[in-house]
A and B are shown apart, each in its own frame.
Chain A
Amino acid sequence: MQKGKWGRRLGILGLVVYGIFILFPIYWTVNTSFKHVGDVYKVPPAFIPPDFTLEAYQFVLQGTGRIALGNSLIVGILATVLAVVLGTMASYAYSRYPNTPLTNETAQFNLLTLRMFPPIAFLLPIFWFWKTFGLLDTYFSLVITYAAFNLPLAVWLLKGFLDALPRSIEEASYVDGYSFWQTARRIVLPLIGPGLAATVALTWIFIWNEFIIAYLLGGRNVLLYTAYLPSLRRGMRIMWNQIAALSILAIIPSIIILIFFRKHLIKVYLR
């Protein structure tokens, strides 16, 4: 009995230490974002901002930071919609008609291969592809590229939800005289609604968080926040408080999604 108690204490201690390890960098970023830049490097380090200020947030939200966050939002939303719409179409075909040359197991596996290849290996040809059409650094090229890269994820997630939906429900709907699209709109989509929502959330996070595509295919006309963030570190004096403020603003949407979808996230990885 005594031994079990010590095991428990040790276990809880481990969890607390790990919690501190996880939270410290986040706490420190929040802390830094409320400091004047002069206070950032102080020894001993200031665990609470000595002179609490919102100037970093003001700077980030007035200038390029706001443009970059706005661009990320636009590209993220459009690309997510495109990826999920096309992903729903593809996963329905994969799930219900797995016997044509375009939808058999090989075709499905080929789509997944996309996720195995390192993106950087694709980006050289894609860079020249968009350059050739004069579309480099536009909303169009970024949205299309992001949608293509995240299509496999959307298909992989959605197919699981569709496979779990019994076919007899759709058959009953046809018997009632509904057409294909009516069935899709009134029966299938509402029934996989929660799965669809989780897919939208995860796809959006992947696109929102992406860096190298944003850096290589965008940057001047369409500057996304992930590409803007490193550029804040150039120059004589590194504005750590601004970097921290932009970082905090950028992780807020993901935290909201995490809190809303925590149960779904666990379910997704249960399969």
Chain B
Amino acid sequence: MLFPKRMPKRPLYLIIPPQLLVLAIVIFPLLWAIYISFHSWNPTISPERRFVGIANYIAVLKDERFLASLGRMLYYSGVGVTIQLVLGTLIALALVEYIRSERLRTFALVVFLLPMMMAEAVVAQMWTLLVTDTGTINNILVWLGFSPIGWRTQKLALTTLMIVDIWQWTSLPLLIAYAARISVPERLLESARLDGASKFLILRKIILPYMRVPLAIAFLLRFMDSYKFLDKVFIMTYGGPGTATELPTFYLYQTAFSYFNVGYAASMSWIFGIMAVVAMLIFWRLTKRA
């Protein structure tokens, strides 16, 4: 009675335009990519598409360059995101624990969040100026009498990228950890202090349990993003030197847009994409259980 009779149809009017957009830009191209992935097709060589079945998929899974890039991603994401999470949590705890002035705390938080609001392209440029061979950091080192560091060499380049990513993205776990920390009821902490519990015990028994789920979500978000990581590789190192910073996203870019090996790239997209979704589902489950 409360609703006019036409009401139940409204959601369909509302949901159709957004769904159409997603269908056109995402679903349709993805289906096309499945179709192409069963073909051998390089439009720069010949317009002809040759049906090859699942040969592309098998080739990708055997492709050593692809597997090596996955290994790099594990190092880069695993180590990088863990550092971001630990550092972000420590900074957030220190902020709440040691800065009493509300104003100063908000100011510090805004400063710490700055990098997250910047374009990856801008951050990559800013840091390239700092880490090139004759860049600022090396100039300062030389000036202080140290020897310059080869930030962009075979050995260090991937770690340099990781440092830049830590600079930019520690903000996110920091923000989430901060939000989780201030959601701990003050009463609970007060009564624990009155009972004479040590700071460490309060941290371990009261604060950390409150932070566990948000931190798991922070890990999930960061891992998801670092999985997609491409911009900084593209701008700072272009996969090099050699293949030292070639992550799967960059190899995929090369295959699709430099070699125009379209069929092969399409099957790689699908393998990589499915791996992303599976990884996320696993993390999602683990988070829910936590």
Q: How long is the Cα–Cα vector from A216 to B231 in the complex, in angstroms?
A: 12
Taking the closest CB of chain B, its distance from the CB of A36, in whole angstroms, is 15
The reply to whether B18 and A125 form a contact with Cβ atoms under 8 Å apart is: no
Residues of A within 8 A of B167 (CB): 21-22, 25
CB nearest to A228 among chain B residues: B121
The reply to whether B117 and A258 form a contact with Cβ atoms under 8 Å apart is: yes
Instruction: Give the residue among B25, B115, B176 with the most A Cβ atoms within 10 A.
Output: B25
CB nearest to A168 among chain B residues: B2
The reply to whether A15 and B139 form a contact with Cβ atoms under 8 Å apart is: no
The reply to whether B253 and A120 form a contact with Cβ atoms under 8 Å apart is: yes
Residues of B within 8 A of A212 (CB): 230-231, 234, 253
The reply to whether B21 and A147 form a contact with Cβ atoms under 8 Å apart is: yes
Given contacts A125-B30, A209-B118, contact A86 B18 (CB under 8 A): yes
The reply to whether B125 and A243 form a contact with Cβ atoms under 8 Å apart is: yes
The reply to whether B252 and A121 form a contact with Cβ atoms under 8 Å apart is: yes
The reply to whether B130 and A28 form a contact with Cβ atoms under 8 Å apart is: yes
Q: How long is the Cα–Cα vector from A230 to B122 in the complex, in angstroms?
A: 9
Q: How long is the Cα–Cα vector from A269 to B183 in the complex, in angstroms?
A: 12
Q: How long is the Cα–Cα vector from A125 to B273 in the complex, in angstroms?
A: 13
Residues of B within 8 A of A255 (CB): 114, 117
The reply to whether B113 and A32 form a contact with Cβ atoms under 8 Å apart is: no
B7 partner, pick from A43, A127, A180, A247, beta carbons under 8 A: A180
Residues of A within 8 A of B16 (CB): 102
Q: How long is the Cα–Cα vector from A258 to B106 in the complex, in angstroms?
A: 12
Residues of B within 8 A of A44 (CB): 139-140, 143
Residues of B within 8 A of A115 (CB): 224
The reply to whether A118 and B228 form a contact with Cβ atoms under 8 Å apart is: yes
Residues of B within 8 A of A215 (CB): 234
Q: Does B149 contact A (CB under 8 A)?
A: no
Q: Does A56 contact B (CB under 8 A)?
A: no
Taking the closest CB of chain A, its distance from the CB of B85, in whole angstroms, is 14
CB within 8 Å of B: which residues of A? 4, 7-8, 11-12, 14-15, 18-19, 21-23, 25-26, 28-29, 32, 40-45, 86-87, 89-90, 92-94, 96-97, 100, 102-103, 111, 113-129, 144-145, 147-149, 151, 155, 171, 174-175, 179-180, 205, 208-212, 215-216, 226-227, 229-230, 233, 240, 243-244, 247, 250-251, 254-255, 257-259, 262, 265-267, 269-270
A-B contacts, 5 of them at CB < 8 A, read A8-B97, A15-B99, A93-B11, A120-B252, A129-B25
Given contacts A116-B224, A126-B29, list 6 more A-B pairs with CB under 8 A.
Answer: A29-B129, A97-B11, A124-B265, A216-B257, A229-B122, A250-B119
Of all A-B residue pairs in the complex, the 7 with the closest CB atoms, nearest first, are A125-B29, A148-B25, A209-B119, A97-B11, A121-B269, A93-B11, A90-B18
CB within 8 Å of A: which residues of B? 2-4, 6-8, 10-12, 14-19, 21-22, 24-26, 28-30, 32-33, 36, 87, 90-91, 94-95, 97-99, 106, 108-115, 117-130, 134, 136, 139-140, 142-143, 167, 175-176, 178-180, 183, 199, 214, 224, 227-228, 230-231, 234-235, 249, 252-253, 256-257, 262, 265-266, 269-270, 272-273, 276-277, 280
